[in-house]
Amino acid sequence: MTKWFGRIGFALLLLVLVAFVALATWEPLWAERDDVVEPQRTYTAEIIRDEFGVPHIYGDTDADVAYGVAIAHSEDDFSTLQDVIAMARGRYGAIAGQDGAAIDYVYHLLDARGTAERHYPDLPEDTRALFDAYAAGLNQFAEENPDELKLGNLFPVEGEDVAAGFALRQPFFFGLNGVIEPLVTGEPLRREYGPDIPGFPRSTDTVDAALPSQEVAMSPLGKDNGMSGSNAFAVTPEKSGGPTILVSNSHQPWRGGVAWYELVVESGEGWHYAGANFPGSPFPFLGHNRDLGWTNTVNSPDMIDVYQLEVDADGNRYRFGEEWRELERKTVTLPVRLGPLVLPIQREVLRSVHGPVIKNDNGYFAFRYGGIDNLGQLDAYYRLNKAETLEEWEGILARMDIPSTNFIYADKTGNIAYVYNAALPDRSEGPNWRTVLDGSDPALVWNGPVEYGELPRYLNPASGWLYNANNAPYTAAGAGSDLSPEKFAPELGVELKQTNRSRRAWKLLSEADRLDRATLEEIKYDTGYAREGYVADLWDELEALDLSDEPRLAEARKLLLDWDFTANNIGRGDSLALLMIREFMSCRYQNKACPSARDELVKSVDHLETHFGRIDPPMGDLLRLRQGDVDLPLDGGSDTLRASTLWDVDEDGRLSVRHGDSFIQWVEWNAGERVTSRSIQPFGSATTRPDSPHYADQSTLFVQHRLKPVHFWREDVLENAKSRKIVTNRR
């Protein structure tokens, strides 16, 4: 009997072991592909790195350069590139667990792969050549560095895989996560930023939706997606007293899949551009070439419409007009890492004629968004890189292939422009587009965007300057030059929104007689708050609190009421104000319910007393730039022009900034001279390589408000070269 039980125990142990091995190894085998077609051509590129490790990539053809971009970026941050490629293949859960699987679900829900498969073959041949070459560079680095691989059979990839990553990520720049997350959880949808539709007034309250009961990480742009921001400035030579100026001041996460990577590219086919891209892109998204440049800021129009479907009792068909149609159903497998194991979790994804469908406790909801099923942005960004004139540049934007983001432009001839770029749905007059729509009404299913001419747009305003700080496009150029919201149909959904950064920028730019370099630098690095909007609401609420029986909180309130509204590391109230403002900025940015001022005051006071023993420590002791051994004081705050937007709270109570001023580029065209530019990053070129000298070598300059030179011209690059090599896939 004992022997019999021993045999059973051994069999069970063996069964458990087999199951363990299967769960630890199935995913790479399941994901293996034998249909990847790698380009049968030779690529050769030269990579020259300057004193800060910024790669300057040269090649005979644009495709050679794109291949070199992949190699250079992999040398600096192959870890993040693998995450991005895993997302583009629906395998991120095998790396990042449950959070990654949520993104994989969205990948299938949006049919990112299907979009790439349908439209990648129709892109121009030279655009596809660029993406194929970039994939070849990633494959080569993966093959030559197997010890760095996170996931088996992630490589090789092809250009279409890279394209699928674009299809997945782009809709989240205009806030798709703000719709998907509440639909998944069954929470109320957040109020849209667009104006009321005539005849359908909404509550005058700033926020309709309650805070979600749980936060769902469903955005490929990271957990801070809803906090995306940026500043941008353009100044004419008449207003500057010298050059045409373009200032790019993006606010992105400092690490991860949407952290900027600086580079300069130049080919024998006329591609010559200095700027920055995100991991997974063969070209820069912003910067400048010889003749012109642009930068982007996130805008938040109403680009998404939600439809409630009338579904039959079996949940298989939905009514559309006079007919009942089958819901498209597809079962997908989401790999979910749990320690050493990867669990195969199956989920069903649904689609209707409207677009993706989500079922929750309240019913079936479909959604449709601007730029849906369009891959044209891959070609548009490439063409923008090589544009030589304002007319050519604007003609590319007019294709409406780039779904969103404002463009601020300047060029060597002295032109400045601002285009409120968005593939706004071509909605009819009459329906209430600011609410959940009737999914059975075919008239509510729009096709394609509005015409380019319907977008808000500025060209060479009389003021001589333009800016955007994630605000409505109706404050952009100063009194007498600003557009009027009455000129734009409410159905367009253009946001009526201001930020503190916008209020400060408009005021400071308007007050300046001349916007020379020094004056514009003061404005860009401004740390002030206007007592308007949510800041005014917060301080009014603080004043109204009854703290007569809470002397500790009363003292803190007095410190705030006496504060100078400047987060510059000088005032006694800077640290307390910094902690207080963040959550109120966050709720207004995302149209969520705000916390109470009392609760935030208690939390902030407790934090400062616990970690600093006082409520008024110097803000530079609290707010830090930390990367490896680098630990430096920072200024600015959430929603100041000098942005220190979001942070992690470290064990010592310090706030380690992770999101804010990121890639800054200052471009100048002086009449009769070649373009020059300067730039800076918070850390360095190799943010995931602790052993690299460029892990955090720009940090001191960054905290000191200083910029480094961009070596745009080849002779300048060679004079400042610290390394130089040829890379090729020639065997």
The full DSSP string for 28-79 is: HHHH--S------S--EEEEEE-TT--EEEEESSHHHHHHHHHHHHHHHHHH
Q: Which of 230, 267, 502, 699 is catalytic?
A: 230
Given a cut of 90, is residue 387 above it in pLDDT?
Answer: yes
What is the C-alpha separation between 39 and 730, in angstroms, rounded? 12
Given a cut of 50, is residue 508 above it in pLDDT?
Answer: yes
Q: Which residues are annotated as a binding site?
A: 302, 305, 482
Q: Which residues are annotated as a binding site for Ca(2+)?
A: 302, 305, 482
pLDDT tens-place string over residues 415-430: 999 999 999 999 999 9
Q: For residue 146, with 0-12 CB atoms within 10 Å meaning exposed, 13-18 middle and 19 or more buried, which class applies?
A: exposed
State residue 40's pLDDT score: 87
CB atoms closer than 10 angstroms to residue 544: 8
Strands 356-360 and 286-288, by their bridges, are unpaired
The whole-number average pLDDT for the span 340-367 is 97
The mean pLDDT of the chain is 94
Q: For residue 2, with 0-12 CB atoms within 10 Å meaning exposed, 13-18 middle and 19 or more buried, which class applies?
A: exposed
The whole-number average pLDDT for the span 158-169 is 97
State residue 351's pLDDT score: 98
Residues 110, 114, 119, 125: is their CA dihedral positive or negative?
positive
Residue 230 annotated as catalytic: yes
Q: For residue 9, with 0-12 CB atoms within 10 Å meaning exposed, 13-18 middle and 19 or more buried, which class applies?
A: exposed
What is the C-alpha separation between 463 and 458, in angstroms, rounded? 11
State residue 208's pLDDT score: 42
Residue type for position 565: F
Distances 355 to 109, 327, 365, 392, 701 between C-alpha atoms, Å: 9, 11, 10, 33, 47
Q: Hey, which residues does 661 pair with through a beta bridge? A: 251
Split at pLDDT 50, 70, 90, the class of 484 is very high
Q: Which DSSP symbol is given to 492?
A: G
Residue partners of 575: CB distance under 8 A and separation at least 6: 608, 612, 615, 616, 617, 618, 619, 621, 622, 623
Percent of the chain with pLDDT over 90: 88
Q: What number does CATH give the domain 534-660?
A: 1.10.1400.10
Its pTM stands at 0.95
State residue 267's pLDDT score: 98
pLDDT tens-place string over residues 441-452: 999 999 999 999
Q: Which DSSP symbol is given to 652?
A: T
Highest mean pLDDT out of 46-55, 213-222, 584-593: 46-55
State residue 212's pLDDT score: 40
Residue spans per domain, the chain: 1-33, 534-660
Higher pLDDT: 10 or 360? It is: 360
Split at pLDDT 50, 70, 90, the class of 24 is low
Give the lowest-confidence range in 30-39, 115-124, 214-223, 255-264: 214-223
pLDDT tens-place string over residues 557-616: 999 999 999 999 999 999 999 999 999 998 988 888 899 999 999 999 999 999 999 999
What angle, 0 to 180 degrees and rounded to 10, lies between the N-to-C axes of helices 93-109 and 62-88? Answer: 100
pLDDT tens-place string over residues 194-215: 899 999 998 765 444 444 434 4
The whole-number average pLDDT for the span 205-228 is 60
The whole-number average pLDDT for the span 108-123 is 98
